[in-house]
Amino acid sequence: MSKGALQQLSGLCPKVMLFFATGFGVGYLPQLPGTAGTLLAVPLSLGLNALAAISLPIALLTLAAAICCAIWLSARAALILEQRDPPMIVIDEIVGFMIANFITPRNVMLLSVAFLLFRVFDIAKVYPLSRLEKLPGGAGIVLDDVMAGLYVFGIMRLVLSWGLL
């Protein structure tokens, strides 16, 4: 980490940034931190869906703010950890799954399908996820998960419109 980057972060409480970027610490689990982050996203996505039922514009603004915060926090956390895309940063999985499950009816089967599809797309890095991952800083950490979430969101809309689940 450069001296300038350290000075920039010194007043912003790195421990608090890492706390949120690691999904309240679940990203430090030794096995499957991305899956743990996605599990943490389940109640958050259900809360976002409840908000969408009340006001879709406010829910969309909340989701956009969450994505922007995730990019910002991921960039700072990567600097603190001195790694390009540290596995313990799971805020990207959280916002990605919030997109994947957005406005999906509350149903265990649908939630499970969205969860599994999101993990598959996030791990497989289907094009253009692999290209987005190469973007610098927090954008590279988060935007591939955002795109994975958009893939799953589209699939879930098709599943629902075709009455498959």
Give the domain ranges of the chain: 33-161
The pLDDT assigned to 108 comes to 96
pLDDT by residue (tens digit) across 38-88?
999 999 999 999 999 999 999 999 999 999 999 999 999 999 999 988 999
Q: How confident is the model at residue 12 (pLDDT cuts 50, 70, 90)?
A: low
Backbone angles phi, psi at 45, to 5 degrees: -70, -35
Rounded to an integer, the average pLDDT of 32-43 is: 96
154 pLDDT above the threshold of 80: yes
Residue of 2, 16, 137, 6 whose CA lies nearest to 74: 137
The pLDDT assigned to 8 comes to 55
155 pLDDT above the threshold of 90: yes
pLDDT by residue (tens digit) across 93-144?
999 999 999 999 999 999 999 999 999 999 998 888 788 888 889 999 999 9
d(CA 162, CA 164): 6
**Cα–Cα–Cα angle for 44, 118, 135, nearest 5°?**
95
7 pLDDT above the threshold of 80: no
Q: Give the pTM.
A: 0.90
Residue of 66, 67, 92, 72 whose CA lies nearest to 138: 72
